[in-house]
Amino acid sequence: MSTDAMRPLGATADRSSARLGPSLHVKGEISGNEDLVIEGSVEGLVQLDERKLTVGATAKLTADVIAREVVVYGNVKGNLRAKDRIEIKKDGSVNGDLTTARIMIEDGAYFKGSIEIDKTNEKESGGGSFARTSSSPATAGVGPKTI
């Protein structure tokens, strides 16, 4: 079997990817320059500025996250900041504030917090403008939504 057949969807030859398995528990800060799939538990900060973080179905994060893209299948307690997009899948759960340019929350997902849509989409221009779309807790349950 070639290595391409084992590469996750969306990964390309020039993009390296890492995985934190279900039996691993990390306390502290994770930072790096590669895509990351977390299946275990993390407490602290996850910072992957220009990369994608996937929170697997068995993952439990008590952490703030900064990444280009965040996809949540598991459980996150903390604030998520993504330059491009945040997706909360049907069995995913997020309790925290979201800041991103695009958001998708699938039917069956749980979300409690606020959402800020960052329309600047420029590289750290030093204090962009934000439009608050929700200032009170909300739960998803009416189909996928993309803003």
Share of the chain above pLDDT 70, in %: 71
Nearest to 82 by CA among 129, 30, 126, 117: 117
- Token digits for 73? 């299948």
Q: What whole-number distance in Å separates Cα of residue 132 and Cα of residue 57?
A: 29
- Give mean pLDDT, residues 20-36: 96
Amino acid at 49: D
To which residue do tokens 């703030």 refer?
A: 64
As separate numbers, helices (DSSP H) first and strands (DSSP E) second, the chain gives 1, 13
pLDDT band of residue 17 (cuts 50, 70, 90) is: confident
Q: Are strands 98-105 and 145-146 parallel, antiparallel or unpaired?
A: antiparallel
Question: What is the structure's pLDDT at 146?
Answer: 57
Query: Which secondary-structure segment (H or E) carries 44?
Result: strand 41-55
Q: Write out pLDDT tens, residues 30-49.
A: 999 999 999 999 999 999 98
* Residues 32, 118, 134: CA angle, nearest 5 degrees: 115
pLDDT band of residue 16 (cuts 50, 70, 90) is: confident
pTM of this prediction? 0.73
List the domain boundaries for the chain: 15-146
The mean of the pLDDT values for the chain is 82
pLDDT at 89 over 60: yes
Question: What is the structure's pLDDT at 145?
Answer: 54
SS3 state of residue 3: helix
Q: Write out pLDDT tens, residues 112-143.
A: 999 999 888 644 444 444 443 443 344 444 45
pLDDT at 9 over 80: no
Q: What whole-number distance in Å separates Cα of residue 133 and Cα of residue 147?
A: 10
pLDDT at 20 over 70: yes
